[in-house]
Amino acid sequence: MSSWLTGALAEPRPESLLFLRRDEVVECLADCDPVGVVRDALLAHGAGDTTLPGEAYLAWHNGKGAYTRSIGMPGAVAGRDFGMKIINASVTNPELGMERAGGLGLCFDSETARVTTVMEVGVLSAVRTAAVSALAVDAAGYGAAERVGVVGCGTQARLHLALLLSRTDTVTDVTLFDERTAAAEALAGSLTARHPGLRVTLAPGVPEAMAGRDVVFFLTTASEGYVREEWIAPGALLVNVSLGDLTDEVLIGARALYIDDLELIVENPRRPLGRLIGEGRIAPAAAAGPSVTATIAELLAEPAKPVEEGYVVVNPFGLGVLDVALFAEVRAQAEKAGRGQRLRLL
Amino acid sequence: MSSWLTGALAEPRPESLLFLRRDEVVECLADCDPVGVVRDALLAHGAGDTTLPGEAYLAWHNGKGAYTRSIGMPGAVAGRDFGMKIINASVTNPELGMERAGGLGLCFDSETARVTTVMEVGVLSAVRTAAVSALAVDAAGYGAAERVGVVGCGTQARLHLALLLSRTDTVTDVTLFDERTAAAEALAGSLTARHPGLRVTLAPGVPEAMAGRDVVFFLTTASEGYVREEWIAPGALLVNVSLGDLTDEVLIGARALYIDDLELIVENPRRPLGRLIGEGRIAPAAAAGPSVTATIAELLAEPAKPVEEGYVVVNPFGLGVLDVALFAEVRAQAEKAGRGQRLRLL
């Protein structure tokens, strides 16, 4: 090798970073209390003690003409945790046998801004989502739910149910639906094996998955609303994780409507709730007509009761700062347990 | 370890990524023609065949109260190269013996959007900057310069001079200035060792470093303009890499003014040229009075001649898509030569 670069550079002071595979991230998450970390980060966010800048968004069409994108979300929590989530996806990934989304979580050093840690982000992101749902179910007053419905039986469903069933012993009955019958069957098999006393039913459609349910989780990739008001059991809580399943009438008709972050929702009129607020059909703050009732952070401070009539909707947009808080916790656990691979960077 | 997570997850299909340390990135850059890659990417950008979304920007003050930040810049070139540059910095890093800025370059798979490669970005970023300067010097008509001045003697200066001296044998005489005398002396020593015929002089100040120079490179961390018009030799080219050194009068008085990207410059009124265009004191396109003459991409298509009177300014804001093109080339070189470490991600 001979080049103009050879010898032109001063010798740098060595730097390194910690690399964590998914299985190592899972071990770190198992060693800590991710729900507690997410709860603290939600409260910090509610108190204005987080920084959540605009995301870097790159979209293109891949060789099959399918929507493909990268999102980079930096964030800071409580002046202590700094980092960035990079979550990329292509619509055609499942056809290739891959998870639709994948990416990396990065921790930044608070003093130098150096990248200290690179970790697989898929499971962590799903754990964050499930933790927000679990906290919202409790704080909305549905912590003693008995009958649970799940629409969409992928990784999110696995983690939502695993976490929910670890936090309560009141759930007796779970109904599952997925267009891909095999996915629903696989989840049913796994649930029955892990929770022998649980009654697990495969529903033939979404209305049947929702009938008589205290809580229904929407964990699909639906891009157009299809859930109708008459499918909802009286008093039910709908946890609208995938954001695309509920029709406008269902969002407008909710007795109570809980969100994670108003600004994020309003800034994204591509999503139904953001559009409805933009159109003035749902008020952005508690009011007599259709309106946002409270944030999840507000609910954590002052929990609600289940409704007797009508139904409640939780609409968590997804907060990158919660992931950043989990990155920092995973890194701390990894250092404590000596997990991961230290890589020389320069 | 026992946790709600244990056993809840389906076994994923294995995925991996390629990790490249700085020395491996340098070897890959030495094996290819980074100036050619940057040239092609500049032409693609000029032809509208790149995507450069808004960056994700997180800033905070570290424990010493110093400005500390992370910038995430995704980009796409010619529908072929996709990736993201993460470049973080803190003002107090040099006090710790570290380079001020550091970060990672990521390649994304065009079909799946997965992160395929993680590489150290510091040298690559400096090589990109030096390549743009070298291309601009040539295209502006100064490829046969004999007397060169350099203000600021850090890594950028090392790479600028190494690249320039590899591309021309007309340079006979280099003047160096840095407030940190040791940095200037170290660079002078390295230059003299590598180029025995070259006359290398340490200047006592910026005016002396600029006197009689055909080309002057500004490679400092200056945040406030201080360079005065009377310091400039007639006919000189000023390459304003660090963006903060030239006073308003110098920018306004230029006979010709070349830029890399008008939109980026106008969107950043914190930088002098963006502010002057915003204030209407420099026209954004070629005009009779003070104005932007052309982009570097336009110059590459139609090279200019040196001016006889007055002086020329090149103001390269810095284009993240050029780094993305280099990431893809470095990855290709690494695969060809079997460089880097393959890491299982999941």
All residues of chain B having their beta carbon less than 8 Å from the beta carbon of residue A30 are: 1-3, 5-6
How far is it, in rounded angstroms, from Cα B282 to Cα B331? 41
Instruction: Give me the sign of the Cα torsion angle B144, B150, B155, B158.
Output: positive
What pLDDT is attached to residue B126? 94
Question: Is residue B294 classed as helix, strand or coil in its secondary structure?
Answer: strand
Asked if residue B75 lies in contact with residue B83, where contact means CB atoms within 8 angstroms, the answer is: yes
Q: How far from chain centre, in Å, is Cα A248?
A: 22
The tally of CA atoms less than 13 A away on the side-chain side of residue A43 is 11
Half-sphere exposure for A197 (CA within 13 Å, toward CB):
6
Interface of B with A in 162-191 (CB under 8 A): 162-163, 165-166, 186, 190
Per-residue pLDDT at A2: 53
Share the mean pLDDT of chain B: 96
From the list B241, B26, B131, the residue with the least C-alpha distance to A9 is B26
Distance between CA atoms of residues A105 and A74, nearest Å: 10
Give the tens place of pLDDT for each residue, B108-121.
Answer: 999 999 999 999 99
Of B75, B98, B114, the CB nearest to A112: B98
In total, chain B counts a number of residues equal to 346
Per the CB < 8 Å rule, is B56 touching A79?
no
Give the residue from A15, A29, A37, A58 with the most B CB atoms within 10 Å of its CB, the best one to mutate.
A58
**How close are the terminal C-alpha atoms of chain A, in Å?**
19
Share of chain B above pLDDT 90, in %: 93
Q: What span, in angstroms and rounded, lies between the C-alpha atoms of B334 and B26?
A: 10
Q: Give B331 to chain A, closest Cα distance, Å.
A: 16
pTM of the predicted protein model: 0.94
B159 contacts in A (CB within 8 Å)? 5, 8-9
* Contact present, A108 and B102 (Cβ < 8 Å): no
Size of interface A-B (CB pairs under 8 A): 256
HSE-up of residue B331 (Cα within 13 Å, Cβ side): 23
Q: Which amino acid is at A320?
A: G
- What does the DSSP assignment read for A193-236? HH-TT-EEEE-SSHHHHHTT-SEEEE-S---S--B-GGGSPTT-
The answer to whether the CB of A67 falls within 8 A of the CB of A91 is yes
Residue of A nearest to B123 (CA): A9
Quick one: tokens of A192?
């029955």
Between the two ends of chain B, the Cα-to-Cα distance in Å is 19
| B33/B240 Cα distance (integer angstroms) | 24
What does the pLDDT read at residue B1? 42
Distance from CA of A44 to the nearest CA of B (A): 17
Cross-chain Cβ contact A110/B63 below 8 Å: yes
DSSP strand pairing (B256-259 vs B199-202): unpaired
Rounded to 5°, angle at Cα B268 from B263 and B269: 120
Determine the 3-state secondary structure of A266 from DSSP: helix
Instruction: In whole angstroms, give the CA distance from residue B76 to residue B86.
Output: 15
* Helix (H) or strand (E) segment spanning residue A115: strand A115-120
**Each residue's pLDDT tens digit, B93-109:** 989 989 999 999 999 99
> What is the distance between the alpha carbons of residues A222 and A224, in angstroms, rounded to a whole number?
6
Question: How crowded is residue A343: how many other Cβ atoms within 10 Å of its Cβ?
Answer: 16
How many H helices and E strands in chain A? 11, 16
Domains assigned to chain A: 16-124+322-337 (3.30.1780.10), 141-318 (3.40.50.720)
User: Which residues, 6 or more positions from A278, have their beta carbon under 8 angstroms from its beta carbon?
Assistant: A266, A269
Distance CA B109, CA A66 (A): 14
pLDDT tens digits for range B138-196? 999 999 999 999 999 998 999 999 999 999 999 999 999 999 999 999 999 999 999 99
Query: pLDDT digit of tens for each residue in chain A (346 aa)?
Result: 458 887 788 788 999 999 999 999 999 999 999 999 999 999 999 999 999 999 999 999 999 999 999 999 999 999 999 999 999 999 999 899 899 999 999 999 999 999 999 999 999 999 999 999 999 999 999 999 999 999 999 989 999 999 999 999 999 999 999 999 999 999 999 999 999 999 999 999 999 999 999 999 999 989 899 999 999 999 999 999 999 999 999 999 999 999 999 999 999 888 999 999 999 999 999 999 999 999 999 999 999 999 999 999 999 999 999 999 999 999 999 999 999 999 999 9
Three-state DSSP state, B175:
strand
Over residues B212-221, mean pLDDT: 96
- Amino acid letter at A195? H
Which of B9, B70, B163 lies closest to A84 in CB terms? B70
CB contact under 8 A, B9 and A155: yes
Cross-strand partners of B85? B73, B105
SS3 A84: strand
Nearest CA-CA partner of B75 in B67, B85, B65? B85
Q: Which residues pair with B124 in a beta bridge?
A: none
* pLDDT on residue B2: 54
**pLDDT for res B213:** 98
Per the DSSP assignment, residues forming a β-bridge with A161 are none
Enumerate helices (H) and strands (E) in chain B, giving the number of each.
11, 16
Which pLDDT score, from 0 to 100, does residue A128 have? Answer: 97
pLDDT digits 0-9 by tens, B20-39:
999 999 999 999 999 999 99
ipTM above 0.90, yes or no: yes
Q: Say what percent of chain B tops pLDDT 70.
A: 99
Q: Which of A289, A210, A223, A224 is nearest to A256 (CA)?
A: A289
Q: Which residue of B has its CA nearest to A160?
A: B8
